[in-house]
Amino acid sequence: MKQYTVAVLGATGAVGQEMIKILQERDFPVGKLIPLASARSAGKTLTFRGEEVAIREAGDEAFQGVDIVLGAAENDIAQRFAPAIVKAGAVFVDNSSAFRLDPKVPLVVPEVNPEDVSWHQGIIANPNCSTIIAVTAVNALNSIAPIRAMTASTYQAVSGAGAGGPVELMNQVEALSRGERCQPKVFSHQIAYNLIPQIGGEQLEGYTSEEMKMQNEGRKIMHLPQLKVSCTCVRVPVVRSHSISISCRFDVSVTVEQAREVIAKAPGCKLVDDLKNQRYPMPLDTSDQDLVFVGRIRPDLTDENGLCLWCCGDQVRKGAATNAIQIAELLVKE
C-alpha cells in the first residue's frame, strides 16, 4: 500500500494529540509523520508507533513534500497556512471553522456525504463537533422523508472548551468541597454543579455563533438548503462526550419503528433505545470511541409529522479528530 507523508498542524493540542493517536489506531498508511506547532514546542518530541518524532515549527516551508495536512489549530492559524499548504500540493483537512461555509470547500461527514470529497480544491473542512454528532444521528431519516426542520438542545462537555475545561471543573469541585469560592477562568460562570446556556457570542437574534452552526453546516452536509434549525447550546459539568436532544419535522408522518430500523443500520450509529430497561445513550458510554449512540426515539407530541430522539458522541474523537482522519481515508481511497 502506498505510504503518505502526513502533517498535523497543531500537534500539541488536545485534538492534534488525538489525531496522532487515531492515526495509529486506524493503521492509516503514514510513511512519515510531521508534527507541527508553535516555536515554543519546536524541538520537543512525541511518540508515534513506538518511535520519538521531533515537533517542528509551523512555517510555509514545512508543507513541502506533504500529502495530507490534518488541521487542529485555530481559525487564524488555518487561514495563515492554507495558501502554503495548497501551493505545496497537499490536501488540507481542517478542523477549524475558517472554511466550513466557503462554497468552494467541501464540508464532510464521511457517513453522510462522502461524495463531496471529490470536488475539493485542496481544502476540506471538518464540521463543528455537535453538528457532526447530530447529522450522523439523524441523516438516515432522510431516506424516509427529507427533514424540513429541527429543534435541538446540545449538552456540551467541558472538554469541548479545550484542555483547560476539565481542569477548571475538577478544581471547582475540589474548592467547593472545602467551602472555598470558585473563580471562573475558562468559562464565564462557575461550571461545577451548574449549567451555562451560552456557547459563543451572539450572532443572530439572540442565537449564538455555536447555535447557528447546526443550521448552516447541517444544510451543507445533508444537502438540505431549506433546512431550518432552532438550537440552544448549553455547557454542562460533564468531562467528555456531547449529548443532543433533537426534534425532527417532516412533510409526512415517520413512525418510531421506521426511524429505529434505518438508524440501526446507519453507518456510524448505534441504536441504544430501551426505556423499560433504562438503556439509552449517555456520555460515559460514548466516550473514547467513535460511534454516535441514538435512543429515546418517540413521537413529537407537538407535531404529527415529528419525531424526537436523544444522541451522544465523543466530541474529541468523532466530533473532531476521527472525522478528519476518516476524510483522509476517503482521499486515500480515491
Q: Is 186 left (phi over 0), alpha (psi -120 to 50) or beta?
A: alpha
Quick one: which of 212, 206, 217 has its CA closest to 231? 212
Q: Is the pLDDT of residue 216 over 90?
A: yes
Distance CA 129, CA 322 (A): 11
pLDDT tens digits for range 71-126: 999 999 999 999 999 999 999 999 999 999 999 999 999 999 999 999 999 999 99
Percent of all residues in the chain with a pLDDT value above 70, rounded to a whole number: 100
Distance CA 308, CA 65 (A): 48
Residue with cell 456520555: 283
DSSP-derived secondary structure letter, 128: P
Residue with cell 485542496: 122
Distance CA 267, CA 88 (A): 34
8 A C-beta contact, residue 288 and residue 319: no
Instruction: Tell me the catalytic residues.
Output: 129, 242
8 A C-beta contact, residue 234 and residue 143: no
pLDDT tens digits for range 295-311: 999 999 999 999 999 99
pTM, whole model, 2 decimals? 0.96
Quick one: which of 74, 34, 71 has its CA closest to 56? 34
Superfamily of domain 132-315: Dihydrodipicolinate Reductase; domain 2 (3.30.360.10)
Helices 209-222 and 129-138, axial angle in degrees (round to 10): 40
Predicted local distance difference test score (pLDDT) of residue 75: 96
48: CB partners within 8 A, 6+ apart:
20, 23, 24, 30, 33, 35
pLDDT tens digits for range 156-197: 999 999 889 999 999 999 999 999 999 899 999 999 999 999
Mean pLDDT for the chain overall: 97
Predicted local distance difference test score (pLDDT) of residue 334: 78
Distance CA 137, CA 246 (A): 9
Predicted local distance difference test score (pLDDT) of residue 1: 78
pLDDT tens digits for range 117-151: 999 999 999 999 999 999 999 999 999 999 999 99
Predicted local distance difference test score (pLDDT) of residue 33: 98
8 A C-beta contact, residue 135 and residue 141: no
Distance CA 36, CA 54 (A): 9
Strand partners, 32: 5
How distant, in Å, are the alpha carbons of 121, 284, 285 from that of 289?
31, 11, 9
278: CB partners within 8 A, 6+ apart:
none
Predicted local distance difference test score (pLDDT) of residue 179: 96
Task: Please compute, for residue 86, the number of CA atoms within 13 A of its CA located in the half-sphere on the CB side.
Answer: 13
- For range 251-277, the mean pLDDT: 98
Q: Domain-by-domain residue ranges, the chain?
A: 4-127+320-333, 132-315
Residue with cell 441523516: 139
- For range 23-38, the mean pLDDT: 97
8 A C-beta contact, residue 60 and residue 84: yes
Quick one: which of 122, 12, 126, 5 has its CA closest to 62? 5
- For range 235-253, the mean pLDDT: 98
8 A C-beta contact, residue 214 and residue 319: no
206: CB partners within 8 A, 6+ apart:
none
Superfamily of domain 4-127+320-333: NAD(P)-binding Rossmann-like Domain (3.40.50.720)
8 A C-beta contact, residue 155 and residue 238: yes
